[in-house]
Amino acid sequence: MLEALLRLCAQRRWPRPRLAPAVPPRRVIIIRPGGLGDLICALPLYRTLESLWPECQLDWLLGPRNASLAPFLRTRGQSWSLLPEGSVRWWLPETLRRELQAARYDLAINAKPGFDSANAWLCLATGAAECRGCIDVRRTRLLNRAYSQPLPPPASMQHQVKKCLELIQGLGVEHPSDDTSLDVPETARARMQERLHEQGIGPGRPLVSFQITTTKRSFMHWPAEHFIALGRKVSARATVMINAAPEDQAQAEALAQAIGGSTRAACFSEMADYLAFHAAAAVVVGSDGGGIHLAAAVGAHTVAFYSEASPLKWCPWRGDHAQFHAEGRPVAEFTPELVWEHIEAKAWLKER
């Protein structure tokens, strides 16, 4: 960290140069590395600023885990991508740093609610005239000085979308957006409809997706035998497909075979195909995570299992969804019968 600070001083980036930002700003960068769900929850912040500053170019600085969503964000600015996963978090590549500083941003916003050392460095490295983000109010940190517009952390027990919107309070916002939707290209939708049709899945029969790939710890995974039991119930009324990352295809095919009938595996390497598939689904079932947020963002109903994370903070922001919260216990306690009762009570399989 000392070496990075010395590099900042050598570039005369610390203390901050006193540049005069344009008012209203002409160009703003929103910094949100992290997961897919993190980015989805920051979309209302972006779209609120679009309405507030209609002439402003709003850009993103994303991370390796969420940069794949950039083509589907419906934005009018540019999206920059950080270093590959697992590389240095504290510094930008020299080429990217020069490109960002050449853009001469009037404002950089750290869209992660709460203090984060890495994001504070990133705000500083953009060379923006003003930086806005949460400081650490519990103790004095050198990196609190990264922000010319310091903010206290938002209240912890509220949804992530609300936390993000608090970051732009005081900028003249009257009607914040609640839009977390993603754009699915029509070409991707048509390609997916053709693919589903080839597999005998027509528009008259609802499609239910089981998401089995998750980065969560094992006790947060809904068990395979639960998916099998639920799949056998659902398949009487809808087509079930097992969605998994390509590396989990063998597991998805084994589950599909165990459920039987017309159940198949559905594994996608391209984000456009993944989104188009879930846009065609009536219901998506899986553990809390980015996949659930993506499914909700393209219009599917979701059933999600939570253990350590609270659905009060991390459930999909818009739409009709169901959450099962084990409060730190294994999510296996939620039986297939209970989940099926909720799906039936919601009448989701009758809508499409």
Tell me the pLDDT tens digit for each residue of 209-226: 999 988 777 888 999 999
Q: Where are the domains of the chain?
A: 2-166, 186-350
Tell me the pLDDT tens digit for each residue of 58-101: 999 999 889 999 999 988 888 888 756 544 455 677 888 889 99
Token duo for residue 136 = 């650490």
CATH topology for the 2-166 domain: Rossmann fold (3.40.50)
Q: What is the pLDDT of residue 75?
A: 86
Q: What is the largest CA-CA distance in the chain?
A: 67
Q: Where are the alpha helices (DSSP H) in 266-335?
A: 271-279, 290-297, 311-314
CATH superfamily entry for domain 186-350: Glycogen Phosphorylase B; (3.40.50.2000)
Low-confidence ranges of the chain (pLDDT < 50): 2, 6, 9-12, 14-16, 18, 86-88
Residue with tokens 């002409």: 26
Q: What is the pLDDT of residue 155?
A: 85
Tell me the pLDDT tens digit for each residue of 64-73: 889 999 999 9
Q: What is the pLDDT of residue 215?
A: 73
Q: What is the pLDDT of residue 91?
A: 62
Q: Are 210 and 231 in contact (CB under 8 A)?
A: yes
Q: Are 257 and 281 in contact (CB under 8 A)?
A: no
Is 186-350 in the same CATH topology as 2-166? Answer: yes
